[in-house]
Amino acid sequence: MSPIATSTVSARAARGSTTAAFEKSKYDVIIIGAGILGTALAATLGKRGRDVLLIERDWKEPDRIVGELLQPGGVQALKILGLEDCLEGIDAVPCSGYAVFYEPDKVMVSYPSDKTPNSGRSFHHGRFVMNLRRAARNAPNVTPVEGTASTLIHCPVTDQIIGCSYSYRNKDGATLSKNVYAPLTVVADGCFSKFRKQHIAKDVTSASNFVGFVLKDCQLPHPNHGHVVLAKPSPVLLYQIGTHDTRILVDVPGKLPSVSNGDLPTYLRTHIGPQLPSDVQPAFYEALKTERLRSMPNSWLPPSSNARDGLILLGDAMNMRHPLTGGGMTVALWDVVHVDRLLASSAVPDLADTALVMRRLGELHWTRKPLSSVVNILAQALYSLFSAGDDQHMKSLQMACFEYFKLGGRCVSTPAGLLAGVIPEPLTLVGHFFAVAFYGVYLICTGRLETDPSKDHNRGLFNLPWNLWRSVMAIWTACVVVLPVIASELQR
């Protein structure tokens, strides 16, 4: 018996659920969350002939300030998955790299053309998600349902996760609950994951928030590029997400000032506005008067390997990094590529063979590592440098990084390729990071890197002890920034 009445079927079908969804209770795979990862995975596994239930709490177009710039590596993953048409019809803007502003200077960090056959894309997040959802719903063998997953069901004998309960509303608005079962449940419920705590021992930390709003008809100095402003105390991002819309994300470290008492708008107007490129300022001040300020925590969650039979956590539920480098969707889409390969029916004919499924999914932790660790380490390390604040040694590294990009050639094209998600080589990243640190030492010792502009006496032997100290501290700071992140990548 269907739990929803006929009159509500068409409305529900439009938003996701079908009557059949509420009648059936056994599937090959249950996916919780129809966001970036859940939709792409559902479409992919459905096309492979797996019987998929996709549970999403709200099928309406999401209105969020996240996931708006897809790196070329993510576009490549979409192509592999046959989902590249999800970028069509959403007024997406091609992105060929970044312009980095460090007053009064700037440098272009363009994606390497030999490594990036396709550009990145920036867009309204909700429009992209709706295309992905459409692809998932139209894929064979995918049953979409509108409901909120509440608990995972475990087998009292084997302790394996065998499905989940979700709640949904019937035609009278009453909340009902339903149990569904599958040999594999995928949790892809995003950054505020409800299920993470029970299954991942690592903690989520957030050092800052991004405050976001839209600038109308803003003329960015470098169209088709993301813009990073190395403001004080931390960076500001700008990129076009549609013909008329430009997203601004202002990183605000520590506790967020209140919007209601006007502290946050005042901070943005008086402290951030003057640091933006002059072309951007009129649209910025105008938007402050009209646009709603929204915020999201910038979280860090090192990856974990799967520990429970019948269950896997993926996407932001399992691994997050600072969104400065816009890598989260690229990692999520490549994880779908990996899972698809690991669970190919030639290798795993029957998903009910839990031992085999878990062995294959166990490989995911290391299979994803080359790309995900590059994205994770780069995001965390660059954020540390770009939010140097008053830390003079961090500031040395920040300036060294900027000067390193200015050297051009491989000093900028390889970091740009790492950022683009097309060079999945962690050692290359670490090499460039320390090259920046040693370039900083060179600049310090030759008196060309002064973090305190009031000092102009930095040349000559007289300053040698001080410069040696600064050099040692620059290398030490580089180690303190990057080694803990590398260590977190080496743990399971």
Ligand X SMILES: Cc1cc2nc3c(=O)[nH]c(=O)nc-3n(C[C@H](O)[C@H](O)[C@H](O)COP(=O)(O)OP(=O)(O)OC[C@H]3O[C@@H](n4cnc5c(N)ncnc54)[C@H](O)[C@@H]3O)c2cc1C
Q: Which is nearer to ligand X, 163 or 315 (CB)?
A: 315
Q: How far is the CB of 58 from ligand X (least distance, A)?
A: 5
Q: Which is nearer to ligand X, 187 or 288 (CB)?
A: 187
Q: How far is the CB of 215 from ligand X (least distance, A)?
A: 16
HSE toward the beta carbon, residue 102, CA cutoff 13 A: 19
Residue 87, CA distances (Å) to 37, 130, 424 in order: 15, 10, 23
Q: Supply the DSSP symbol for 319.
A: -
Q: How far is the CB of 168 from ligand X (least distance, A)?
A: 10
Q: How far is the CB of 35 from ligand X (least distance, A)?
A: 2
Q: How far is the CB of 182 from ligand X (least distance, A)?
A: 15
H helix count then E strand count, the chain: 16, 18
Q: What SS3 class is residue 86?
A: helix
Contact set with ligand X (CB under 6 A): 32-38, 55-58, 65-70, 148-149, 188-191, 194, 210, 296, 298, 315-317, 323, 326-330, 332
What is the separation of C-alpha 380 from the centre of its chain, rounded to a whole number of angstroms?
A: 12
The Cα 20–Cα 2 span in angstroms is 8
Point out which residues pair with 143 in neighbouring strands: 53
Q: What SS3 class is residue 200?
A: coil
**Nearest residue to 273 via CA among 240, 243, 229, 220:** 229
Burial of 296 (0-12, 13-18, 19+ CB in 10 A): middle
The Cα 366–Cα 388 span in angstroms is 32
Q: Which is nearer to ligand X, 310 or 315 (CB)?
A: 315
The Cα 111–Cα 2 span in angstroms is 52
Point out which residues pair with 248 in neighbouring strands: 213, 238
Q: Which is nearer to ligand X, 252 or 478 (CB)?
A: 252
Q: How far is the CB of 74 from ligand X (least distance, A)?
A: 6
Q: What SS3 class is residue 295?
A: strand
Q: How far is the CB of 471 from ligand X (least distance, A)?
A: 35
Residue nearest to ligand X (CB): 35
Q: How far is the CB of 340 from ligand X (least distance, A)?
A: 15
Q: Which is nearer to ligand X, 175 or 446 (CB)?
A: 175
Q: Which is nearer to ligand X, 51 or 68 (CB)?
A: 68
Point out which residues pair with 184 in neighbouring strands: 29
Q: Which is nearer to ligand X, 101 or 166 (CB)?
A: 166
Q: Which is nearer to ligand X, 56 or 403 (CB)?
A: 56
Contacts of 359 (CB under 8 A, 6+ apart): none
* Sheet arrangement for strand 175-181: 148-154, 161-169, 175-181
Q: Which is nearer to ligand X, 210 or 284 (CB)?
A: 210
Q: How far is the CB of 239 from ligand X (least distance, A)?
A: 8
Q: Which is nearer to ligand X, 168 or 404 (CB)?
A: 168
Q: How far is the CB of 323 from ligand X (least distance, A)?
A: 3
The Cα 11–Cα 13 span in angstroms is 5
The Cα 229–Cα 238 span in angstroms is 8
Q: How far is the CB of 477 from ligand X (least distance, A)?
A: 26
Q: Which is nearer to ligand X, 226 or 440 (CB)?
A: 226
Residue 55, CA distances (Å) to 83, 146, 181, 249 in order: 20, 6, 12, 30
Point out which residues pair with 97 in neighbouring strands: 110
Residue 142 phi/psi, 5-degree rounding, is: -105, 125
Burial of 438 (0-12, 13-18, 19+ CB in 10 A): middle
Q: Give the strand pairing for 294-300 and 69-70.
A: unpaired
